[in-house]
Amino acid sequence: MPDAVLGLLGLARRAGRLSPGFDAALKAAEDGHALLVLAACDTSERTMRAIESGCARTDTELVSTGYTMEQLGNSIGRNDTAIVAVCDKSLAKRVKELCHA
């Protein structure tokens, strides 16, 4: 059975409500579009520090997931992806619920 969070990320991508990649996610957070930023468990320390700083500046919630960059990337039809920003209120809420369950 496919993982529900990864399925929701794929749905968000198809709906155009996902900003994949560090630069896109950071820009979405700075522009106030990102409601939730997710990080892969194998994201480098340098990238994590940078995205943590960016999310703190914009008061955007950051969740470190148990998914690898490969898993996140595959769920949205891309190569390895360390950071994604969810830009839809209901999808972000559901992803948060599933991540904290």
Which positions ≥6 away from 20 have C-beta within 8 Å?
13, 73, 76, 78, 81, 83, 84, 85
Report domain extents, the chain: 4-99
> What per-residue confidence (pLDDT) applies to 2?
52
How high is the mean pLDDT of the chain? 93
Total-model pTM: 0.94
| Mean pLDDT of the region 44-60 | 95
Backbone angles phi, psi at 85, to 5 degrees: -115, 130
| Cβ neighbours for 65, distance < 8 A, ≥ 6 positions apart | 5, 38, 39, 40, 41, 72, 99
Q: pLDDT confidence of 101, banded at 50, 70, 90?
A: low
* Fold (topology level) of 4-99: 60s Ribosomal Protein L30; Chain: A; (3.30.1330)
Q: pLDDT tens digits for 15-43?
A: 999 999 999 999 999 999 999 999 999 99
> How many angstroms separate the CA atoms of 35 and 45, rounded?
22
Rounded mean pLDDT of 44-70?
95
At residue 1, the pLDDT reads: 29
